[in-house]
A and B are shown apart, each in its own frame.
Chain A
Amino acid sequence: MAQAAPRTRAPRSAPGARGDRLAAVVMLAPNILGFSLFLGVPILASLVLSLFDADGFGSYDFVGLSNYGRMLSDPLFGQSLLVTCLYVLGMVPGVFVASLALALLMNSRLPMRGLLRAAFFLPHVVSLVVIGLVWRFLLVDKVGIVHQVLAPLGLSGISWLGDTRFALLTVLVVSIWFYMGYYMIIFLAGLGDIPTEYYDAATMDGASAIARFRHITWPQLRPTSFFVLVVSTVAAVSGAQAFDLIYVMTQGGPANATSLGMFYIYQQAFQFNNYGYASAMSATVVAFLVVVTGALFALTRAGRFDDA
């Protein structure tokens, strides 16, 4: 039997290293303290709360895991998960493609590039509530501006926010329009990091624009793409992006067609006063997010997209 290698004691850290560690702890302490107080404690409270039937008015009864069991038999929670999945499947690729296309366009030798960049980013500096109100006004049935513009194209009879077939699609389009400017800026930063020598060499070799994108731009943009992918997925699943829009534009309707998981959680907590159940759903969404983000990291080798 092979002899195990003798254990060697790790060398004591040098006094300087210990000082560095102490400095690091001191500098990180405010952040860690803030995180613990304002995120850690509420997360813990929420996890515990998910084990109670709590009405928000002072009464809470321990119910164990029954709130989690209730989710399985709640058709509206199932519906909200389906809507969330559809939203994520539309939002993430949609905003990715739209913002990348915009970034490539804004990175080319376009006249008034600076102005156009600012124009595309501009919606992002306006409150989402205001954006929602403006779009709701534009989308009003029969007399709204969108209706008048689309009427000549034979799309006059559609109630964009009042029809179960189109409401989620409409919210998706507004969401993509709102966020593409933000992700465009991120892609532009990534494009700015690619050395121009690569393009010069490829051009001299007679590479087409498509070939240059495929062999230079896309591989070099992988870390940026990963960032956009992760951030937009987390935001879409958590409903952080869409909640304000849905609250203002559709209130989750018509017939729950736009009721994302996060909107349903809000309803359970603040409209129905079922705080325990809402906490259980939140915990489930967080767990799902951890799995999704973990899967993204695993599938893309943490953004390197290496071959397996």
Chain B
Amino acid sequence: MHPTRPRPRSTGAPAPSRRHLLGAGLVAAGVPLLGGCFGLGDTTGLVLEQPGGDVPEQFKDRQRVVIWSSYTEHNAEVIQANLDAFHEEQDDIFCEVQIFDSYEGVESKLAASLQARQVPDIAVLSDVIWNRFYLAETLEPLTGYFDDSFGTDSFHDRFLAEGTVKDDIWWIPFGRSTPLFYYNREVFAAAGLPDRAPETYTEYAEWGRELAGFTFEGNEVAMRGYIGGDDWYFQGSIWAFGGAYSDGLTMTLTTDESIAALEYDRAFIHDDNSGYLAADAKGDFVSGACASVLESTGSLSGIKEAATFDFGCGFLPREEGAGVPTGGGGLSIMKYASEQRKQAAWEVIKYLSSGEASVNWTLGSGYVPTTKAAMESPEIAARAAGDPNYQVAIDQLEIAQGPDVARRYVPETLVEAKDAIQSVYSAGENAEDVLIRMEKELEPAIDRVREKYEQRVGE
């Protein structure tokens, strides 16, 4: 055996092992990496660069503004037409639209781009997304940008209030909507149902039972195709039954009223066989597979174009009260753009929200008017007079309200809610069990935002 050296006496703390040193080294090496690759570090006076893109030769000497937009296809063309007119009318600013497939697409890219130290100047953010960027202190307060030529009174009060936190405006209403009740007039007439939307959810269920097993032109028709990929419609029905997702950050999903809303849907689908979870509810309605659907006002033009039958629109049914959620997107300016870019971005927002551009957007997109200019324009009045369904969309705004706090500030809520309603719509799970589970699973998510919420919103 080899002779060993005498072991030194312990000095209290054990000598660090190779493994400890390796672990410490990993963290030590990684923290600067995190600072470099992740997060924004010290944000005082921070200016992030614009995303790359193409500026046409004739606009090379202008201030470039980048919008990240979730408006695609026809809506994208309407925005571009407005911006083309903007480029003609002035010679200081060029605005480039970079298009994403959805609100979630913009959100994901924006979160990632902040880490990559790049931001657009304007982002189109949905009504349940912008608040998270507000909590993270990445949005520019806009109240100070308004002036006599373009004041806060330019907008529909209800919509502007939704973008306001602590007396500051952070989000300008743009492509706003509410759900409408769409029904197939021909099926309703053939089944002996009244030519109107049901006034209450109870009446809707009665009509659904009357329609059960009904065939129209050789096809069996369900009363309602449910949308499971979006909990927006459930937000409305939960209010109608007297419940809510939350009161502030306190979850209220397990109250009798909230449970009643989801239990109603379970019974409608699984007991009465009046509805089903549709992969494409709008498509099913247009093809005649279901007699009614709750869909966005923004879908009005598309349904009108695609439907080969006469259809009507009405207010969403009531129960204990009205339940009409607002939805859609608005425009925010990013805090970490340079001052020149922010100022130019405001000019773009101002143009898109004023006069003719606002009217063109409202008419072209099918979204409800968000500005007074659009509301009071003869073109919108003519459209409403010529299309009673469009008038319904405008009238319903008076009883619409913004989403519950949990849907706005806790991103997990939307996914958990989709999971919950799909569990009931598809698998027929017990509504109370599902909502208890949802509330429990949301607890840690709510705890994570609570401090920031109380600090930044403090309701």
Residues on A facing B (Cβ under 8 Å) = 41-42, 44-45, 47-49, 51-60, 70, 75-76, 136, 139-143, 159-164, 251-256, 267, 270-275
Residues on B facing A (Cβ under 8 Å) = 26-27, 29-31, 33-34, 37-41, 43, 104, 107-108, 111-112, 114-115, 132, 136-138, 219, 225, 228-229, 276-280, 283-284, 287, 289, 411-412, 415, 418-419, 422-423, 425-427, 429, 441, 444-445, 448
Cα–Cα, bound, A253→B33 (Å)? 36
Cα–Cα, bound, A71→B295 (Å)? 37
Q: Which residues of B contact A47 (CB under 8 A)?
A: 26, 30
- Interface contacts beyond A143-B289, A251-B418: sample of 12 additional A-B pairs, CB < 8 Å, sorted by A: A48-B27, A57-B114, A58-B43, A60-B38, A70-B444, A136-B279, A140-B280, A162-B277, A162-B278, A254-B423, A270-B112, A275-B38
Using known A-B contacts A47-B26, A48-B27, A161-B279, determine if residue A58 contacts B426 with beta carbons closer than 8 Å. no
A54 touches B39 (CB 8 A): yes
A251 touches B229 (CB 8 A): yes
Q: Which residues of A contact B107 (CB under 8 A)?
A: 270-271
Q: Which residues of B contact A164 (CB under 8 A)?
A: 422-423, 426-427
Cα–Cα, bound, A223→B230 (Å)? 47
In the assembled complex, how far is the CB of residue A54 from the closest CB belonging to chain B, in whole angstroms? 7
Q: Can you report 14 A-B residue pairs in the complex whose CB atoms are below 8 A from each other?
A: A44-B29, A48-B26, A48-B29, A48-B33, A142-B289, A143-B284, A143-B287, A159-B426, A162-B279, A251-B229, A267-B415, A272-B411, A272-B412, A273-B132
Using known A-B contacts A159-B276, A253-B418, A255-B419, determine if residue A143 contacts B283 with beta carbons closer than 8 Å. yes
Q: Which residues of A contact B412 (CB under 8 A)?
A: 272
Q: Which residues of B contact A41 (CB under 8 A)?
A: 33, 37
Cα–Cα, bound, A302→B288 (Å)? 57
Cα–Cα, bound, A162→B26 (Å)? 45
Q: Which residues of B contact A42 (CB under 8 A)?
A: 37
Cα–Cα, bound, A267→B104 (Å)? 11
Q: Can you name the residue of chain B whose Cβ is closest to the Cβ of A48?
A: B30
Using known A-B contacts A44-B29, A52-B34, A256-B419, determine if residue A59 contacts B39 with beta carbons closer than 8 Å. yes
Q: Which residues of A contact B283 (CB under 8 A)?
A: 140, 143
B411 touches A57 (CB 8 A): no
B419 touches A58 (CB 8 A): no
Using known A-B contacts A76-B441, A159-B279, A164-B426, determine if residue A270 contacts B30 with beta carbons closer than 8 Å. no
Q: Which residues of B contact A52 (CB under 8 A)?
A: 34
Q: Which residues of B contact A142 (CB under 8 A)?
A: 219, 284, 287, 289
Q: Which residues of A contact B136 (CB under 8 A)?
A: 55-58, 273
Q: Can you name the residue of chain A whose Cβ is closest to the Cβ of B429?
A: A255
Q: Which residues of B contact A141 (CB under 8 A)?
A: 225, 276, 278-280, 284, 289
